[in-house]
Amino acid sequence: MALDSSPENPAAVRTIARAVEGWIAKLGPVWVEGQVAQLTRRPGARLVFLTLRDTEADMSVTVTCLPHVVEACVPPLAEGQRVVIHAKPEFYAGRGTLSFRAAEIRPVGLGELLAALEQRKNLLAAEGLFDPARKKPLPFLPRVVGLVCGRGSDAERDVVENARRRWPGVVFETREVAVQGVKAVSEVTAAVRELDRLPHVDVIVVTRGGGSVEDLLPFSDEGLVRAVAACLTPVVSAIGHEKDSPILDLVADVRASTPTDAARKVVPDMVEEMRGVQDLRSRATRAIRGRLDRDSAWLDAARHRPVLAEPMVLVTGRESDVRLMLERSRRALDSRLARAADDVAHVRARVRALSPAATLDRGYAVVQDDSGAVVRVAADVGDGALVRVRVSEGEFRARREP
């Protein structure tokens, strides 16, 4: 098939052109999927020209077609639209240019798009790319936050401002890239890979504002999803609004609903953390101080107990006890003596009352026989018996005369 040529006998341009034309014709008609990058329709022109770009790679081809082919499209063909065309390669020998002649152009509708997305999602899921086990935890305090976002976008501002408010010390490594259209996939993927390689970048945030399904399509791109899956650095996906969920959300380590939410997830609220620490610290101090105060109060109380504060109490206490005892014993003694004195007086009175002295004083006399017994019956005393006679003043003996 190859032409034989050499510097000595070179092939003519027309020969080469015709050969290339032949080869190209061999491809025949094909169904091609791509994105309309450029559409030029000059009124009255015989042909319509458009550039069809590959959905992922940075390649494109020129497509020509008759006007009615374009008019047949519903919804009307527009730049950025994804299409599937049935075309045949044409080599224009005159200028050596290649273009595709489109016989039919079908816009890829939303339905097909979503179906294609779903199918891709299931495919990647089956590969285990979305397994929770693969999810890497976010660092508590990232040294540098990698940020992939649109140029000067609100999303970028939200992430940066919120992060800085929570932690003024935060450092960003930002890559502003296309976040929509044909260049989005390649630029975002390149930025993510680059940031992943930077050692000091501890977390990567990929973010963009809301948009249509097509706008967010790059963030469901298989190439990008695989790149993120391969990242060693944790990735946070913050694409579009709360309801949007491109495949990037599933493969990322953390899904943030909005750019602000992403800031909240990658950077701790240092002001809050500091307040927490300060709070714990003062509580600890109050606790220990309270403990010391309680113990000191206890010690003071113990010290002021009389037994410790005035030890003399021990001595005086005993002294008073002794004195008390003394008094009591003395009193007891006095009372006993007094009682004894009374007894004596009492007894004496009785003795005196019982003793015959008073009777004797009145002139009576007590006669006792020799045995000492008092004589009451005269006959008891025999004649000549000796008796003892006591009178008030003294006593004498007497003998019974017959």
Partner 1 sequence: MTATPEKPTFEQARDELTDVVRRLEAGGTTLEESLALWERGETLATICQEWLDSARTRLDAARGPATAED
For the bound state, the minimum distance from the C-beta of residue 276 to partner 1, rounded and expressed in Å, comes to 16
Residue 89's closest CA among 33, 26, 13? Answer: 26
- Minimum separation from the CB atom of position 271 to partner 1 (A): 18
Closest CA to 368 of 391, 347, 336, 340: 391
Which residue(s) pair with 254 in the sheet?
Answer: 236
Nearer to partner 1, 30 or 309 (CB): 309
DSSP state for residue 171 in the 8-state scheme: -
By beta-carbon proximity to partner 1, the closer residue of 10 and 311 is 311
- Give the shortest CB-326-to-partner 1 separation in angstroms: 17
Closest CA to 87 of 33, 38, 28, 29: 29
Choose between 42 and 286: whose C-beta lies nearer to partner 1. Answer: 286
Our CB check for partner 1 shows the closer of 109 and 311 to be: 311
User: Closest approach of Cβ 123 to partner 1, in Å?
Assistant: 60
Which pair of tokens denotes residue 374?
């008092």
Shorter beta-carbon distance to partner 1: residue 309 or 351: 309
Q: How far is CA 31 from the centre of its chain?
A: 56
Q: Least separation, in Å, of the C-beta of 141 and partner 1? A: 24
Count CB-CB contacts under 10 A for residue 178. 16
Q: Three-state SS for 2?
A: coil
Asked if residue 149 lies in contact with residue 155, where contact means CB atoms within 8 angstroms, the answer is: yes
Report the nearest approach of partner 1 to the CB of residue 259 (Å).
Answer: 38
Which one-letter amino acid corresponds to residue 229?
Answer: A
Least distance CB 310 / partner 1 (angstroms): 10
Applying CB under 8 A, which residues contact partner 1? 281-282, 285-286, 288-289, 292, 295-296, 298-299, 302-303, 305, 307-308, 311, 314-315, 317-318
The CA distance from 105 to 114, in Å, is 19
Query: Which residue's CB is nearer to partner 1, number 18 or number 304?
Result: 304
Half-sphere exposure of 111 (CA within 13 A, CB side): 0
- Taking the least distance from each CB to partner 1, the nearer of 301 and 353 is 301
Please name the residue that has the structure tokens 């039919």. 104
Edge-to-edge order in the sheet of strand 254-255: 172-176, 144-149, 201-208, 235-239, 254-255
The whole-angstrom separation of Cα 40 and Cα 51 is: 9
Q: Which is nearer to partner 1, 31 or 298 (CB)?
A: 298
> What is the DSSP secondary structure assignment for residue 167, as one 8-state letter?
-
Q: β-strands 144-149, 201-208: how paired?
A: parallel
Query: Nearest approach, Cβ of 302 to partner 1 (angstroms)?
Result: 6
